[in-house]
Amino acid sequence: MSGPVSDDGPILDLTRRARALQEEYGARLMADEGIRALVGAYGAAIEQTAAAMQTERIGAACSACARQNPSGCCFAGLESGFNEIMLLLNLLLGCPLPEVRAQGDTCFFVGERGCRLRARYYFCLHYFCPGLEASLGDARMGALQQQVGRELRAGWEAEVAIRRWLGSHSSTTTEERVPS
């Protein structure tokens, strides 16, 4: 593992804020029946996407490519697409947040066995390289993209509900607690 690189301040700050939200509100969020159902549905959608990717052997193809192209699709800086609610969702789904960047030239969240997150944003899921698209063909790509769409929608619904919950339950102002 390598230590922080010079531009890790923003992502370390974001992960710290997500952990603070989890510590202060995590148990109460998951005690809310509506939030718990949305987080559960999101976790199920993530598993369904993972199963679809495995069926299509996407992980094997990406790993083989990453060995030739270490920074590959998950290059440094992509971590800036996250917000703290998405990172909080990882914690609510039981996925701890990394404390250090494993490799300087890749996304902060890349680990030895690929991505270290469960809840991921649009780019992580929606991007398929031209080689993969060509090898899968239109029908299989379409089915995968539909599943990715279901996961993204489930994540968005959970995120919106959590923002609303925090806005109405936090002890300080919405602006301080609920980032844009």
Amino acid present at 168: S
Give the whole-angstrom CA distance, residue 7 versus residue 30.
Answer: 33
Instruction: Between 53 and 110, name the residue whose CB sits nearer to ligand SF4.
Output: 110
Which residues within the stretch 57-76 sit at the binding site for ligand SF4 (CB under 6 A)?
74
**Is-contact 86 124, C-beta < 8 A?**
no
Give the whole-angstrom CA distance, residue 137 versus residue 86.
Answer: 31
Instruction: Between 97 and 178, name the residue whose CB sits nearer to ligand SF4.
Output: 97
Instruction: Between 92 and 117, name the residue whose CB sits nearer to ligand SF4.
Output: 117
Q: Using CB under 6 A, which of the segments 45-53, 107-115, 145-153, 165-173 binds ligand SF4?
A: 107-115
Query: At a CB cut-off of 8 Å and minimum separation 6, what does 119 contact?
Result: 42, 46, 86, 87, 89, 90, 93, 95, 155
Give the whole-angstrom CA distance, residue 10 versus residue 156.
Answer: 23
Instruction: Between 25 and 109, name the residue whose CB sits nearer to ligand SF4.
Output: 109
What number of residues does the chain have?
Answer: 180
Q: Is 117 in the site for ligand SF4 (CB under 6 A)?
A: yes
Q: Is 110 in the site for ligand SF4 (CB under 6 A)?
A: yes
Q: Is 124 in the site for ligand SF4 (CB under 6 A)?
A: yes
Shortest spacing between CB 28 and ligand SF4, in angstroms: 27
Q: Is 97 in the site for ligand SF4 (CB under 6 A)?
A: no
Shortest spacing between CB 32 and ligand SF4, in angstroms: 27
**Is-contact 165 35, C-beta < 8 A?**
yes
| Interacting residue ranges for ligand SF4, rule: CB under 6 A | 74, 78-79, 107, 109-110, 115, 117, 120, 124
